Amino acid sequence: MLSNNSLWAVIEQLRAEMEQIETRYENAMQSLQEVEIENAKQKQIIEDHLQGAKYNKSRNERDNREDKAEERRQHEKEQEEGDNHE
């Protein structure tokens, strides 16, 4: 059987181990929070990039439509000028 002093020594050792575990847990939680913050920042960057890409695609499509319309107008104008010269 353990003596009273031995029991107190075991209890103190367990307390020390518990403190170490609590410290590791707190550090892990802090690291997790930092990772979550970084992930949120990265997610925002990606969303901003995707929004920019959508905007650029939309703008490019609009520009292409305008270019085609301008080409049609130019072509029609050239045809009218050709018809007027005949």
- Assess contact for 2 and 10: CB atoms under 8 A: yes
Query: Between these two residues, 83 and 27, which has the higher pLDDT value?
Result: 27
C-alpha span between 78 and 86 (Å, rounded): 13
On the question of pLDDT at 1 being above 60, the answer is: no
pTM beyond cutoff 0.75: no
Q: How far apart are CA 30 and CA 44, in angstroms?
A: 21
What average pLDDT does this structure show over 14-35?
Answer: 98
> Percent of the chain at pLDDT above 70?
94
| pLDDT score for 10 | 94
Please give the pLDDT value at position 2: 63
